[in-house]
Amino acid sequence: MSRSSDTTEAEATLLKVGELARRSGVTVRTLHHYDSIGLLHPSGRSEGGYRLYNRADVARLHGIQVLRSIGLPLEQIGAMLSREGAGLAVTVARQLSVLDHQIEQATRLRDRLALVQAKFQEDGGEPELTDWLDTLQLMSACDQYFSAAETKQIFENWSAVESQLTKLVGEVKSLMAEGVPATDPRVQPFAQRWANLMYTWMRGDYDLMERWGQMYLAEPRVHTGPRPNLGMIQYIEQAVQLRIGLMCKYMSMDDLKRLGPVADAEWASFTAEVLAVAAQKPAPDAPAVQALLKRWHEIRQRACRGDPALDAKLQRAYRNEPLLRDTMPLVPAAREFLWRMAEAQPGGERPPEGPHQGA
């Protein structure tokens, strides 16, 4: 075979610049530019001087396109390709990584837009500018501490506690304004409600609660609008930690995390029923008394996840720690009535001093 025919056959396995442009979707002008800046040199030239690109050149071009799709400058792309190579396997792996990143970003954006849409619907129109900016600041901060799914969950669950938490924040700020120290027993009912609401908001996920606390301490930009400021958070957390410290004298943190909350509304309803029945001075075997004792037992079982050992630990904590006992949501008159009625039952014993309502 002659040299001329060898050259012609070799050129047939290569792509001229026009054909590469047509098949890759990149303009001829762009390919010329890449050549001029040293980003993509053709591997050969035809006898007529035309640029010829082989398979390795095409793989490199594909790598350039992938990196350009995420906005990297040409200078950085050149450095990356020189360092990592532009082989087909490397290029495909890089593209998969880029797509994964794009999917993650798109999912996060979609979830954020869904939250914004829900905000519009909730407000019945466009929110006020300050409210809108506060929401955007909080979303931006959450991006650094939570996954898109977790942020979505946090925002969606907010409506379940918003009114109660807003009211509680106002009450706690009033205590602070009066100069009541966080260690004062009067703060404990508020600390109990705070812990209960946080548990409800985060659906019992202690990891989320801890990361939310970390974000609040580290991100001053979220202390705006109706949300509690850092001083208020530190104040109520001091009271909460005091309560946790007393509880942990009788149980582990793992035990504590297993305890379930009892809603304020349920406590209020139950207390009212107990006081109403007590006012009638019933006998211990009266149906109304039996119904109350059964309901109290059910509340304790739910709070302790049906675990008698955990219930026993809780009994000791409330029996031995006045700060816990005296700040129970069940008022003393109701508690004393239930105790008397329980002790009067056949084989009756003094029942637990009350179920847990959040640390």
For residue 15, the cross-strand partners are 53
CA dihedral 293, 296, 297, 300 (to 10 degrees): -160
242 and 323 share a domain?
no
| Tokens read off for 158 | 């907010």
232 and 141 share a domain?
yes
240 and 282 share a domain?
no
Instruction: Write down the pLDDT at residue 221.
Output: 67
Q: How many domains does the chain have?
A: 3
In this structure, is residue 119 part of a structural domain?
no
Q: How far is CA 312 from the centre of its chain?
A: 33
214 and 143 share a domain?
yes
Q: Tens-of-pLDDT digits for all 359 residues of the chain?
A: 444 444 444 445 788 999 888 888 889 999 999 999 999 999 888 888 888 999 888 888 888 887 787 677 888 888 877 766 555 566 667 667 766 766 666 666 666 666 666 655 665 555 555 555 566 667 777 778 888 778 878 878 888 888 888 899 999 999 999 999 999 999 998 998 898 889 889 988 989 998 988 888 887 766 665 567 888 888 999 999 999 999 999 999 999 989 888 877 888 899 999 999 999 999 999 999 999 999 988 998 888 988 989 988 987 898 889 888 877 778 888 988 998 898 898 876 554 444 444 33
335 and 239 share a domain?
no
242 and 271 share a domain?
no
147 and 243 share a domain?
yes
Instruction: Write down the pLDDT at residue 11.
Output: 47
Q: Could you list the residue range(s) of the whole structural domain that residue 156 is in?
A: 128-247
278 and 209 share a domain?
no
Distance CA 47, CA 53 (A): 14
169 and 276 share a domain?
no
Distance CA 230, CA 209 (A): 16
227 and 190 share a domain?
yes
Whether residue 324 contacts residue 243, with contact meaning beta carbons closer than 8 Å, is answered with: yes
In this structure, is residue 311 part of a structural domain?
yes
Instruction: Write down the pLDDT at residue 204.
Output: 87
Tell me if residue 45 falls in helix, strand or coil. strand
Tell me if residue 267 falls in helix, strand or coil. helix
Distance CA 168, CA 193 (A): 8
Q: What is the CATH number of the domain that holds 44?
A: 1.10.1660.10
In this structure, is residue 358 part of a structural domain?
no
**Cβ-based neighbours of 216, under 8 Å, separated by 6 or more:** 222, 223, 230, 233
Q: Which residue type is seen at 81?
A: L
In this structure, is residue 147 part of a structural domain?
yes
In this structure, is residue 287 part of a structural domain?
yes
Number of Cβ within a 10 Å radius of residue 7: 12
In this structure, is residue 259 part of a structural domain?
no
CA dihedral 169, 175, 176, 178 (to 10 degrees): 150
In this structure, is residue 110 part of a structural domain?
no
240 and 269 share a domain?
no
pTM of the model: 0.58
283 and 215 share a domain?
no
